[in-house]
Amino acid sequence: MASEIVERVTRNLVAYEPSPKGLRFAAVSLILRDRQFPSVLLIKRAERSGDPWSGQIAFPGGKMQKGDNKPLDTAIRETMEEVGVDLGRGAEFLGYAPMATTHTGNMEVVPAVFLLKGSVEIQPNEEVASYRWVDLEDLTAPETKTTYRLNYDEGSVEVPALRVDDYVVWGLTQRILNSVLEG
């Protein structure tokens, strides 16, 4: 079953370059390792004032910058900056997952999916508090599904989430994982 997950993920990807619809544009890297027993790299963002994603579980990635010609460039650059992994050399680009819009509605995020060619050493920068490899099979298990209570000034709301040990994946990251794993 585990090896079939990569094939299922691949079926949910596209090769063509997504184009922005006028919003700010960002890209993230969904990095897989080991085709037979696949796992995905998740990071916990460092707590930083003014960062709307502070402390959240995420994929390496960030905003497109001058010099990034396409989302793939952004994903590769941001991954090198945040976790020290050179995806341009050490991974096979499998394709793009469906574009997602942030909860604020002002940024489109393109997930670029990669399969590592070999082992890598993760070297987190100051933007990353921690990281872990999570088995894709665990992310599809019913007992992983939960909710997360998001508190606002006006109240709170429960949103779908995935719990893997002390990592609670919700919001954009959860939606991207759902689109890739379940279509």
For residue 82, what pLDDT is reported?
97
30 domain-assigned = yes
Strand 155-164 with 91-96, pairing: unpaired
Largest CA distance in the chain: 48
User: Averaged over 94-108, what is the pLDDT?
Assistant: 84
Is residue 60 in some structural domain? Answer: yes
Asked whether residue 21 is domain-assigned, the answer is yes
The percent of residues above 70 in pLDDT, for the chain, comes to: 93
Among 74, 38, 80, which Cα is nearest to 177's?
38
Split into its structural domains, the chain has a count of 1
Residues 35-91 have pLDDT tens digits of 999 999 999 999 877 766 678 999 999 999 999 899 999 999 999 999 999 999 999
| CATH code of 13's domain | 3.90.79.10
In a domain, 160, yes or no: no
The mean predicted confidence, pLDDT, of the chain is 89
Closest CA to 9 of 32, 34, 37, 42: 32
pLDDT attached to residue 23: 67
List pLDDT tens digits, range 137-158. Answer: 999 889 989 888 877 778 888 8
- Does residue 42 form part of some domain? yes
Q: Give the separation between CA 150 and CA 21, rounded to whole angstroms.
A: 28
Q: Is residue 26 part of a domain?
A: yes
* Rounded Cα–Cα distance for residues 38 and 150 (Å): 30
**Full-model pTM:** 0.91
The answer as to whether 148 is a domain residue is: no
User: Does any domain span residue 163?
Assistant: no
Q: Are 146 and 162 in contact (CB under 8 A)?
A: yes
Range of the domain at 58: 2-140+168-182
